[in-house]
Amino acid sequence: MLVRRVPLLTAVVTAATALTLAAAAAAPASAFDLTRETANFAKIGERPRLEPAAHPLSAPSRPVRFVNRNGALLSAHLWLPPTTVRLEGRLPTVVFVSGDLAPETFYWFAAAAFARSGYLVLTFDPQGHGLSDTFGTGADASRHVAVQQAAESGTVEAAADEDAVEQTQDALAFLLSTRAKPYLPPAPDGTPATAGHAATPGQRRQQAEVASGKAARANPLYARVDARRIGLVGHSRGADAVSILAARDHRVRGGVAWDDLLAQTSETPPVPLRPRVPVLGIADDYYQAPTPFLQAPDPAGHLAGFLAARAAGVDSAELVLRGATHYEFSYAAGVPLPATLRGVDFATWYATAWLDRYVKGDGRATSRILTGRWRADPVEARVDPTRDGNLFSFYYRSQLAVHRPSTLVGHGRRRHLKAGRLVTCADLRSGCPALLPAAADTGPGRYQVLTPEP
């Protein structure tokens, strides 16, 4: 597993230094095109250069706080569809899991986009992030604190992954709490709380913070949550949590891992992951400390998680963004993270389509998963150094394997659901017969999650 934890400013400086080194490098083997690579690497400057004043589209949000199993008070937000969407009753729900060091605000663009697509969304600052507490309380005050602080070092991968899993499970427990069954965090070993009985420091603090008005007794929007339709989306460390919970947690119906989907845990020895539900991974060429290639990487370098899902028999896809970095999947206005202009749109388009298909249960979303629009995007073509409108990496293979929705066939007593046909594509950049033109994918003509337009 790649080491993913480098401070953001260091990554930007490293990127600038790497450009200089690439220009001075001797040309490697003839199969590798250094001129093409130079243009590809230059794409990491598109967002800072072309979209410095953009802001995410809006959706209503409500701040809430709850205590996790370590006794730390966590800051969170619940997001609802805008009133213009006019959705009533229970809604499919998404929990977004942040990456290391990144506050939930970096992912509010995605929360708003999912809410505008008809979801109730929970974003939260994990312990040690953003506005959430660094320390817990009582005997558990320091539990996992050292792991959280060392997560950026890349030396505690397995422990940091498990911490992210716990944080997400606590968020799920809060999401599903009600007035009749108020929220109490589980014990540190994962044992569920007994209703009305606070036995751990975290549980006692939750009750105390409710009494003081600082924490919510239960999810105030529970009446809008469809507990049968819950999806997870995560970035970086959050993607690890999504990968693991897609294999472990029966409450989850689908997962999206932004950089990237795991095939196994980081334990020694590693434990293979067998996803129970459809999973989508989206990755990039240059990852967290962008450095130009001096030789072509392994084309299958990002496919391990996809292949693990295929072996488990669930629908899956792995998409790799061309000229992109680890920062395609987070956004803060005025923060010049190295990223492409359209990466944020590409990632959100596919995440929303995946959630719609497998969490919301809308078979029509399959057409947006099978779209060919990102192979010839006019906005990309206008800003790309080589005028290439294809957003898929030409180094790493992007693949998918999804079933078309089931259909009702037959008549009378013989009427039944017929399973949809499996559709595969071994190279989305080159294209496949199953891909649809933009005009036929049921999506908007121009898709964007930030405004104003560049």
Residues forming a β-bridge with 121 = 79, 94
Q: How confident is the model at residue 116 (pLDDT cuts 50, 70, 90)?
A: very high
* pLDDT at residue 68, rounded to an integer: 98
pLDDT tens-digit series, residues 221-232: 999 999 999 999
How high is the mean pLDDT of the chain? 91
Contacts of 232 (CB under 8 A, 6+ apart): 94, 95, 96, 97, 168, 241, 242, 245, 246, 252, 254, 255, 256
Among 275, 218, 229, 240, residue whose Cα is nearest residue 100: 240
Coil, helix or strand at residue 71: coil
* pLDDT at residue 27, rounded to an integer: 43
pLDDT tens-digit series, residues 6-40: 343 334 434 444 444 444 344 444 479 999 999 99
Q: Report whether 265 contacts 302 (CB < 8 A).
A: no
Which secondary-structure segment (H or E) carries 66? strand 61-67
Q: How confident is the model at residue 189 (pLDDT cuts 50, 70, 90)?
A: very high
Contacts of 388 (CB under 8 A, 6+ apart): 322, 380, 381
Q: Give the gyration radius of the chain's Cα atoms.
A: 22
What is the average pLDDT across 130-153? 94
- Exposure of 55 in the CB half-sphere (CA atoms within 13 A): 3
Q: Which amino acid is residue 178, in one-letter code? A: T
Of 412 and 79, the structure prediction assigns the larger pLDDT to: 79
* pLDDT at residue 407, rounded to an integer: 72
**Alpha helical stretches, state H, 7-53:** 8-24, 34-41, 46-50
Q: How confident is the model at residue 83 (pLDDT cuts 50, 70, 90)?
A: confident
Question: For the chain, which domains are there?
Answer: 55-451 (3.40.50.1820)
pLDDT tens-digit series, residues 245-293: 999 999 999 999 999 999 999 999 999 999 999 999 999 999 999 999 9
Please determine, for residue 235, whether its predicted confidence score (pLDDT) is greater than 80: yes
What is d(CA 454, CA 450) in angstroms, rounded to the nearest whole number? 9
Among 314, 367, 316, 369, residue whose Cα is nearest residue 346: 369
What is d(CA 146, CA 163) in angstroms, rounded to the nearest whole number? 11
* pLDDT at residue 335, rounded to an integer: 87
What is d(CA 316, CA 251) in angstroms, rounded to the nearest whole number? 19
* pLDDT at residue 153, rounded to an integer: 81
Q: Report whether 308 contacts 297 (CB < 8 A).
A: no
Q: How would you classify the pairing of strands 120-124 and 91-97?
A: parallel
To which residue do tokens 């130009």 refer?
Answer: 292
What percentage of the chain carries pLDDT values higher than 90? Answer: 83
What percentage of the chain carries pLDDT values higher than 70? Answer: 90
* pLDDT at residue 3, rounded to an integer: 36
Please determine, for residue 126, whether its predicted confidence score (pLDDT) is greater than 60: yes
Please determine, for residue 114, whether its predicted confidence score (pLDDT) is greater than 50: yes
* pLDDT at residue 173, rounded to an integer: 98
Of 20 and 90, the structure prediction assigns the larger pLDDT to: 90
What is d(CA 13, CA 336) in angstroms, rounded to the nearest whole number? 11
What is d(CA 100, CA 160) in angstroms, rounded to the nearest whole number? 9
What is the average pLDDT across 55-73? 96
Please determine, for residue 5, whether its predicted confidence score (pLDDT) is greater than 50: no
What is the average pLDDT across 359-372? 97
The DSSP-derived string for 252-298 is --EEEEES---SB-SSSS--B---SS-EEEEEESS-SS----SSPPP
Q: How confident is the model at residue 418 (pLDDT cuts 50, 70, 90)?
A: low
Contacts of 159 (CB under 8 A, 6+ apart): 144, 147
Q: Torsion angle, CA of 165/309/102/56, rounded to 10 degrees?
A: -130
What is the average pLDDT across 311-328? 98
